[in-house]
Amino acid sequence: MDNEEFRDWSRRAADWGVDYRASLRDRPVRPAIAPGEIFRSIEASPPETAEPMEKIFADFEERIVPGMTHWQHPRFFAYFPANAAPVSVVAEYLVSAMAAQCMLWQTSPAATELEMRIVDWMRQALGLPEGFSGVIQDSASSATLAAVLTMRERALDWQGNRQGLAGQAKLRVYSSDQVHTSIDRAIWVSGIGEENLVRIPVSGRFRAMDTAALEAAIVADREAGLLPAGIIACVGGTSTGGTDDIAAAAAVAKRHGLYLHVDAAWAGSAMICPEYRHFWAGVEGADSIVFNPHKWLGAQFDCSIQFVRQPEDLVRTLAIKPDYLKTRGHDGIINYSEWSVPLGRRFRALKLWFLLRAHGLEGLRKMIRNHVAWSEGLAERLAKEADFELVTEPMLSLFSFRHRAAPGADADEHNLRLVDAINTDGRIYLTQTRVDGRVAIRFQAGQFESTAADVDMAFDVVTEIARHLA
């Protein structure tokens, strides 16, 4: 592809992107296709000779797009959002065109220094105190792994990386059952082992860890010769928004000298609104915090910020400094590859810089406040319907509900059929979960371009299909 072809196809791709986003309300949120259908439509062997771009692009439109779930659809109410505000997409065009490898300061000084500034902008926006610094990771999974590795090394007096875990005291990490499964994976990958992730009972509307039980578990483990390493608390858990008492967890961590990591991957974005910060009161006592601007704020995936109180601990855990990665003549500079598990790094700060400048914090606050209000309104409407029940009250913009099955019918099976029927219909997209062992249907408003009318449609679709099934 020469420069003129590159120019032409870049323009056509950008035009396609605009038209695609404009057409989303006319598309089903999730494709109605059978597993294997797309796979069978793709040639079994790679081409030996070059094919024209016209044909490649036509195949993209005809074979790939119809098989996509449309995460930018304004009626995507499943999981949590993975927003990509248009201005963020534009910034990603530029990042893709430059294709920089931003692993060291010297491999892209502007990328490193913009990241330093943008992370501090976000610290201020969330109301976190000075003293927290941070890094943009790819996802909360990577940030949590980095935190678990750090708590492991700190507990082992920095000998785990050097000596391995064989012969060391058995480590223990504590969390509730409301945390994301990325915590389980971090425990696996770090070598701590699933059996040493201690699940603390929860209670209350927000299913918070029982901190008395937490402290008792730590004391009992120490008495049994085990080595407590850290606590992982959550704000806005994936299933129903489970939220721990962060101040109480921080007090336990401080008393016992444990590392505290706070996973606020989804809900952390809402903390740009001062009125929601009570959900993580005491967060200044955490050792690390993760939240994902690529979920609710509108920064295109991937973009996850990990704040840390003592970056030297993170660097001591993860940094490897072969001679070919040293920056000669410069001491004290930040090389962000030493703050993360991967060596390679994308230029993630640019889209946040564009986003924050184009929308301003007030624009983003208005969006989040709308989502919370619309979700609360929908929950109230469903609660007033005789054949529906709320299972969990709204936590920000997330709640769960059930439709009452006919007498004698299996309620779980009925609600699974309902969520399948809703998603097959295509006008909205929801997911299910289990609360106290029973099926519930999750609703979460968070898509960047959703409107009150889109949430109203969710009420119409849910009630219409539920009553048809009944």
pLDDT at 321: 67
Whether the per-residue pLDDT at 106 is higher than 90: the answer is no
| Whole-angstrom distance, CA of residue 342 vs CA of residue 319 | 10
- Residue 172 belongs to domain with CATH number: 3.40.640.10
Residue 246 inside a domain? The answer is: yes
- Tell me the C-alpha distance between 317 and 308, whole Å: 13
Average pLDDT, the chain: 92
Residue 274's CB is within 10 A of a number of other CB atoms, namely 10
Average pLDDT value for residue range 40-51: 92
Band of the pLDDT at 328, cuts 50, 70, 90? very low
Domain-embedded: residue 236: yes
Domain for residue 407, yes or no? no
Q: Does any domain span residue 399?
A: no
Q: How confident is the model at residue 299, as a pLDDT?
A: 94
Helix 181-189 to helix 140-155 angle, to the nearest 10 degrees?
Answer: 50
pLDDT at 107: 86
Q: Which helix (H) or strand (E) holds 111?
A: helix 109-126
Give residue 326's pLDDT: 53
**Helices 349-383/86-98 angle, 10° precision:** 150
Residues 6+ apart with CB under 8 A from 384: none
Task: Give the tokens for residue 12.
Answer: 């056509």
379 vs 381: CA distance, rounded Å: 5
Q: Which run of H or of E encompasses 432? A: strand 431-435
Q: How many domains are there within the chain?
A: 1
The type of residue at 233 is A
Q: What is the mean pLDDT of residues 282-298?
A: 95
The two counts, helices (H) then strands (E), for the chain are 15, 13
**Residue 310 falls inside a structural domain:** yes
**What's residue 394's pLDDT?**
95
The three-state secondary structure class of 234 is strand
pLDDT of residue 30: 92
Whole-angstrom CA distances from 93 to 85, 86, 167, 414 are 13, 11, 50, 45
450 lies in a domain? Answer: no
Q: What is the pLDDT of residue 332?
A: 65
Decide if 261 contacts 186 (C-beta within 8 A).
no
* Bridge partners of residue 290, in order along the sequence: 263, 306
Q: Which amino acid is at 10?
A: S
Q: Is the pLDDT of residue 324 over 50?
A: no
Strand (E) or helix (H) holding 233? strand 227-234
pLDDT at 319: 86
On whether the CB atoms of residues 382 and 401 are closer than 8 A, the answer is yes
Q: Would you say residue 322 has pLDDT above 70?
A: no
The per-residue pLDDT for 66 is 92
What is the rounded distance in angstroms from the CA atom of residue 24 to the CA atom of residue 1? 31
CA distances, 139 to each of 265, 266, 432 (Å): 9, 11, 23
Q: 239: Cβ–Cβ under 8 A, 6 or more apart, which residues?
A: 178, 433, 434, 435, 442
Percent of the chain past pLDDT 70, that is, above it, reads 97
Q: Mean of the pLDDT values across residues 399-425?
A: 94
Question: Strand 304-308 vs strand 133-137: parallel, antiparallel, or unpaired?
Answer: antiparallel
- The predicted pLDDT at position 329 comes to 42
Taking residues 104-113, what's their average pLDDT? 88
Confidence of residue 428 (pLDDT cuts 50, 70, 90): very high
Quick check: is 448 in a domain? no
Q: How many CB atoms lie within 10 A of CB 181?
A: 9
- Specify the amino acid at residue 193: G
**SS3 assignment for 321-333:** CCHHHCCCCCCCC
Query: What is the per-residue pLDDT across 178-195, written as a single tens digit (0 to 9) for each?
Result: 888 888 999 999 999 999
Residue 100 is predicted with a pLDDT of: 87
User: What phi, psi does 444 have (nearest 5°)?
Assistant: -145, 120
**Overall average pLDDT of the 79-107 stretch:** 90
- Domain presence at residue 148: yes
Q: Which strands form 431-435's sheet, in the order they lie side by side?
A: 388-395, 398-403, 438-444, 431-435
Angle at 208 between CA 207 and CA 209, to 5 degrees: 125
Q: Which residue would you say has higher pLDDT here, 447 or 322?
A: 447
User: Which single residue is written with the structure tokens 């796979």?
Assistant: 39
Predicted confidence at residue 331, as pLDDT, reads: 57
Domain that holds residue 238: 101-346
Residue type, 8: D
pLDDT in tens, 119-170: 999 999 999 999 999 999 999 999 999 999 999 999 999 999 999 988 888 9
